[in-house]
């Protein structure tokens, strides 16, 4: 089976700033791919080049085995939901959803049937003849989604579609989106900077850093086995602790470990408690070793300023910031 | 200072406002006076009275029956429509392009357009008229083509302001939804920017309705309303001319009222962006 | 690729650019070129020397006088009007719309009205003067009184625009600035000269640029009110244009001179105004 989408060495510059640096990525049919990265790392630019509204400086975009790099956006048959939803304010909900079908020249009956169908699926049938300016944030997001889904495109691109919703709506919308994608079996590429979204939505997460995909895999893989120190410190509620290898006798390497990968003991690495934070799973102790801040999780509370010792139950070994060995897994 | 300030403290303000109002209204008052005061007591008497000694519609009726108004009115209307239409035909694409090329480069083009706009009308009009004569354009069509020069920069500027106020992703969304550029223009960008486009059209319309220099130089005969009025004034048929002038002013007031409804404060500054 | 992307959008601007160039830059260049030609087509400076013979100097000086006179009157009165317009008082709206009316009145109509007010016989200005017990004035008898009438008509027609521009500048000034000055004990005059005027300077430069260029091109008003006597630079050009196929070459020469004066004026104001804006 060929992949749904192949991005080959995409390059994009804005002036002297390189935004996409030989970015390569493959997405399988029916996959929910989340592209995760900090703000300003070219996530939106990536989607814009794939959909065709931003020209590339180099590279190839292949959809269903067909090279679409030089096609204008309206000939690519890729749908995109923009961050602000970009609903047409001069049209009502019905006309917004019908617009892509009109563009493909569908008959009025077909349009009517499809619009009603998708409106039922997304529970916005009641609002069909409302002006889009009167909708709530959640409704707007559904309308934008309906407009993208209605014409059955090859690929869906979503640019932080939930970031404009307030927290409670966002949680429900996330569940729904995932369910919808699984039911319909569409291929989704979803861009976000929010790790919880990546965690709960993605089949696979691609971590974007410096204009290229630094690592790709399930969220758990990224968490357990970050291939670079950067991914390690980016993924997770607390960044992975990175300390100099000489501390445990691995000269010339770096050691990375998660806060939970330690055992408290009477010997091992010593630290002074600078902050002790209670959580459901125990107590998070924050401190510094060689001017590097570290966080470990232990079962018991410790006083501020007291010293304690811990050993590593498990750790990853990095050389020049790349993973070379896993230990204690 | 607030609205409820006493009359006394505002007295100099009111005196100033009243004096200025009188100064600015007086000429219009004179026009009304000449039009509606019975003939020997208006400007035909050596020292006409400042307050109306009588009232008549005779002057207006006389003017309408003695002077041929329809021709110039219809021609002026045509020309104004053509100028307005040309403003949109040239202005909408130009404003669209300017909105897409980036603010810095766009500003350079805008400055160029406005510098061109400073070119003295009469300096440009005479060679145009000589060339148009050869092309058979010494008529109202030639006048419309030339008048477009006066209004195009401002039209582009106003429409550009409108485009800049639209969310950028709307156009992208339409392209993604399968619309090509012309369809995107026609279905999304133009309807969304219609108030700025209307303002540009009406301003072009009004400017053309009022324009004299190009009209008199390019088409001195069978021309527009202002040229006709000028001819009547030089033939010294004054009170008919004043009735004529009053007629001429009414459409402008109507257009201005419509314009005011759509005019937003950013209409003239929207195209400005740093 | 980014470049070609931009080129695509520049293509949308090209029709407007071509239009403006074909009907504006090209004719202006033609004017300059033909000003050095005889009707026969050989090169000459005689068109320029003929202009001196036909009173170019006086026309230029008169144009300058009218422009300066109208500009000063406009700026002064417009500032006055704008300062009343920003004050919130009862009747503000009526006042604002009343003083704006003249701008909506067509130039030819306003010229006509003022020719009615200032005609020697049957003029409303003279009837007012006679009512006060003075002798009537023949407004078009001397060139200075003729020009004064043009200045007055022009100021009536165009002050509203300047007032609007200044008004937008004044309403942009923050009230807190005035309150601070008041607290510092600055009186009304002091506030006007050290806050209002300097802050208004850039926008006044814009008003000066827009109006100054138009003042120099003033055509319909003098043509309707005083005809060709005394001539201003534009009416002189128009008269040459109308007279014969030889004198049209004089009008090209005079046009060229007018063109350069306008360009000079515009660059001075832009440069000065621009410098002021940068200083802020």
Identify whether residues A82 and A187 lie together within a single domain. yes
Instruction: Name the percent of chain C in helix, strand, coil, to the closest 5.
Output: 80, 0, 20
- Helix/strand/coil for B100: helix
**Among A261-265, B52-56, C26-30, C48-52, where is mean pLDDT lowest?**
B52-56
Is B258 among the domain residues?
A: yes
**What's the total number of domains in chain B?**
2
pLDDT in tens, B208-255: 988 999 999 999 888 898 898 888 877 766 667 777 787 777 777 777
Alpha-carbon gap: A116 to the closest alpha carbon of chain C (Å): 38
CB contacts < 8 A, A to C, total 7
What domain range is A285 assigned to?
A: 238-327
Identify whether residues A275 and A189 lie together within a single domain. no
pTM score of the predicted model:
0.83
Which chains does chain B touch, 3 or more C-beta pairs < 8 A?
Answer: A, C
Identify whether residues A18 and A140 lie together within a single domain. yes
Which chains does chain C touch, 3 or more C-beta pairs < 8 A?
Answer: A, B
Chain C, window 217-236: residues with a beta carbon less than 8 angstroms from a chain B beta carbon? 217, 219-220, 223-224, 227, 234
Predicted pLDDT of residue C279: 43
A53/B176 touch (CB, cutoff 8 Å), yes or no? yes
Identify whether residues B208 and B238 lie together within a single domain. yes
Q: Tell me which of A197, A229, A261 is where a domain ends.
A: A229
Chain B, window 126-145: residues with a beta carbon less than 8 angstroms from a chain C beta carbon? 126-128, 130-131, 145
What domain range is B133 assigned to?
A: 66-267
Question: Sheet of A282-289: strands edge to edge?
Answer: A275-279, A282-289, A292-298
| Nearest of C250, A104, C243 to residue B178 by alpha carbon | A104
Phi, psi of A277 (to 5 degrees): -115, 125
Alpha-carbon gap: C2 to the closest alpha carbon of chain A (Å): 7
pLDDT in tens, A68-107: 999 999 888 899 999 888 999 889 999 999 999 999 889 9
B/e letters for C128-150, b = 16+ CB within 10 Å, e = fewer, are beeeeeeebbebbeeeeebbbbb
What CA–CA distance (Å, rounded) separates C268 from C280?
A: 19
The CATH number given to whatever domain includes residue A100 is: 3.40.50.300
Identify whether residues B48 and B161 lie together within a single domain. no
Among partner residues C20, C24, C107, which is closest to B212 by beta-carbon distance?
C107
Say yes or no: A13 contacts chain C, CB-CB below 8 A: yes
**What's the total number of domains in chain A?**
2
On whether the CB atoms of residues B157 and B87 are closer than 8 A, the answer is: no
Closest chain B CA to residue C85: B17
Identify whether residues B24 and B79 lie together within a single domain. no
Q: Tell me which of A171, A195, A229 is where a domain ends.
A: A229
Closest chain A CA to residue B180: A74
pLDDT, averaged across chain B: 83
Judging contacts by C-beta atoms under 8 Å, the chain B residues touching residue C27 are 123-124, 126-128, 131
The CATH number given to whatever domain includes residue B88 is: 1.10.3720.10
What percent of chain C lies above the pLDDT cut of 70?
Answer: 95
Q: Tell me which of A184, A210, A229 is where a domain ends.
A: A229
Predicted pLDDT of residue B237: 65
Say yes or no: A135 contacts chain B, CB-CB below 8 A: no
Identify whether residues A82 and A138 lie together within a single domain. yes
Identify whether residues B74 and B138 lie together within a single domain. yes
- What is the CATH T-level fold of the domain C50-106+137-279, as seen in this structure? MetI-like fold (1.10.3720)
pLDDT in tens, C64-94: 999 999 999 999 899 989 888 888 877 787 8
């Amino acid at each position: 089976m060929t992949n749904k989408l192949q991005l080959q060495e995409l390059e994009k510059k804005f002036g002297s700033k390189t935004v996409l640096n030989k970015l390569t990525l493959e997405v399988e049919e029916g996959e929910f791919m989340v592209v995760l990265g900090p703000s300003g790392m070219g996530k939106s630019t990536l989607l814009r080049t794939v959909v065709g509204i931003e020209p590339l400086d180099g590279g190839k975009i292949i959809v269903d085995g067909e090279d679409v790099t030089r096609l204008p956006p309206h000939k690519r048959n890729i749908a995109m939901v923009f961050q602000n939803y970009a609903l047409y304010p001069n049209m009502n909900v019905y006309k917004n959803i019908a617009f892509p079908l009109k563009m493909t020249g569908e008959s009025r009956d077909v349009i009517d049937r499809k619009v009603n169908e998708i409106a039922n699926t997304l529970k916005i049938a009641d609002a069909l003849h409302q002006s889009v300016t009167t909708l709530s944030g959640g409704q707007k997001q559904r309308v934008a989604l309906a407009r993208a889904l209605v014409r059955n495109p090859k690929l869906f691109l979503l640019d932080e579609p939930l970031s404009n919703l307030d927290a409670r709506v966002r949680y429900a919308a996330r569940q729904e989106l995932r369910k919808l994608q699984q039911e319909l079996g569409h291929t989704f590429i979803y861009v976000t900077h929010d790790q919880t979204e990546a965690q709960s939505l993605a089949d696979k997460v691609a971590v974007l850093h410096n204009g290229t995909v630094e690592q790709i895999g399930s969220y758990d893989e990224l968490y357990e086995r970050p291939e670079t120190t950067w991914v390690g410190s980016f993924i997770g509620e607390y960044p992975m602790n990175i300390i100099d290898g000489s501390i445990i006798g691995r000269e010339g390497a770096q050691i990375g470990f998660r806060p939970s990968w330690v055992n408290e003991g009477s010997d091992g690495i010593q630290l002074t408690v600078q902050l002790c934070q209670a959580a459901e799973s125990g107590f998070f102790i924050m401190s510094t070793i060689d001017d590097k801040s570290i966080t470990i999780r232990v079962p018991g509370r410790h006083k501020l300023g007291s010293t304690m010792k811990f050993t590593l139950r498990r750790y990853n070994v990095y050389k020049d910031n790349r993973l070379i060995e896993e230990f204690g897994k | 200072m607030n609205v409820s300030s006493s009359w006394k403290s505002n007295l100099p303000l009111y005196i100033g406002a009243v004096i200025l109002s009188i100064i600015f209204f007086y000429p219009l008052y004179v026009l009304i006076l000449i039009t509606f005061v019975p003939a020997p007591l208006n400007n035909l008497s050596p020292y006409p009275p400042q307050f109306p000694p009588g009232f008549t519609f005779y002057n207006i009726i006389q003017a309408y029956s003695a002077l041929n108004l329809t021709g110039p009115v219809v021609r002026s209307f045509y020309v104004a429509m053509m100028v307005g239409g040309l403003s949109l035909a040239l202005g909408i694409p130009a404003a669209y392009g300017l909105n897409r090329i980036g603010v810095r480069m766009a500003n350079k083009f805008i400055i160029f357009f406005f510098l061109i706009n400073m070119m003295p009308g009469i300096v440009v009009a005479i060679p145009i008229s000589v060339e148009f004569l050869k092309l058979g354009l010494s008529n109202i069509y030639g006048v419309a083509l030339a008048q477009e020069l006066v209004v195009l920069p401002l039209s582009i500027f106003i429409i550009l302001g409108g485009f800049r106020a639209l969310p950028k992703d709307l156009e992208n969304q339409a392209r993604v939804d399968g619309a090509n550029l012309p369809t995107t223009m026609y279905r999304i960008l133009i309807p969304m920017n219609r108030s700025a486009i209307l303002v540009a059209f009406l301003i072009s319309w009004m400017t053309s309705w009022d324009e004299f220099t190009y009209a008199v130089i390019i088409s001195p005969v069978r021309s527009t309303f202002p040229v006709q009025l000028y001819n009547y004034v030089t033939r010294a048929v004054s009170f008919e001319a004043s009735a004529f002038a009053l007629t001429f002013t009414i459409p402008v007031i109507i257009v201005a009222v419509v314009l005011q409804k759509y005019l937003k404060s950013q209409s003239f500054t929207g195209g400005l962006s740093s | 690729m980014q470049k070609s992307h931009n080129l695509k959008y520049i293509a949308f601007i090209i029709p407007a650019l071509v239009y403006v160039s074909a009907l504006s830059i090209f004719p202006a260049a033609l004017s300059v070129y033909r000003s050095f030609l005889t009707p026969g087509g050989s090169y000459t400076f005689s068109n320029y020397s003929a202009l001196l013979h036909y009173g170019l100097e006086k026309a230029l000086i008169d144009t300058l006088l009218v422009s300066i006179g109208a500009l000063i009157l406009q700026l002064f009165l417009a500032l006055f009007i704008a300062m009343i317009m920003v004050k919130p008082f009862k009747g503000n709206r009526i006042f604002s719309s009343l003083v704006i009316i003249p701008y909506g009145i067509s130039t030819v109509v306003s010229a006509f009205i003022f020719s009615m007010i200032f005609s020697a016989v049957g003029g409303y200005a003279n009837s007012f003067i006679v009512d006060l017990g003075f002798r009537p004035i023949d407004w078009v008898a001397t060139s200075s009184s003729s020009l004064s009438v043009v200045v007055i008509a022009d100021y009536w027609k165009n002050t509203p625009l300047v007032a609007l521009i200044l008004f937008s500048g004044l309403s942009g000034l923050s009230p807190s600035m005035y309150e601070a000055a008041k607290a510092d004990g600055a009186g009304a005059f002091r506030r006007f000269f050290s806050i209002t005027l300097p802050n208004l300077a850039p926008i006044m430069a814009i008003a000066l640029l827009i109006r100054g260029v138009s003042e120099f091109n003033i055509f319909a008003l003098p043509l309707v009110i005083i005809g060709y006597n005394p001539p201003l630079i534009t009416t002189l050009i128009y008269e040459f244009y109308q007279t014969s196929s030889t004198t049209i070459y004089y009008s090209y020469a005079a046009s060229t001179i007018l063109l350069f004066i306008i360009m000079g004026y515009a660059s001075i104001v832009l440069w000065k105004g621009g410098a002021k804006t940068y200083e802020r």
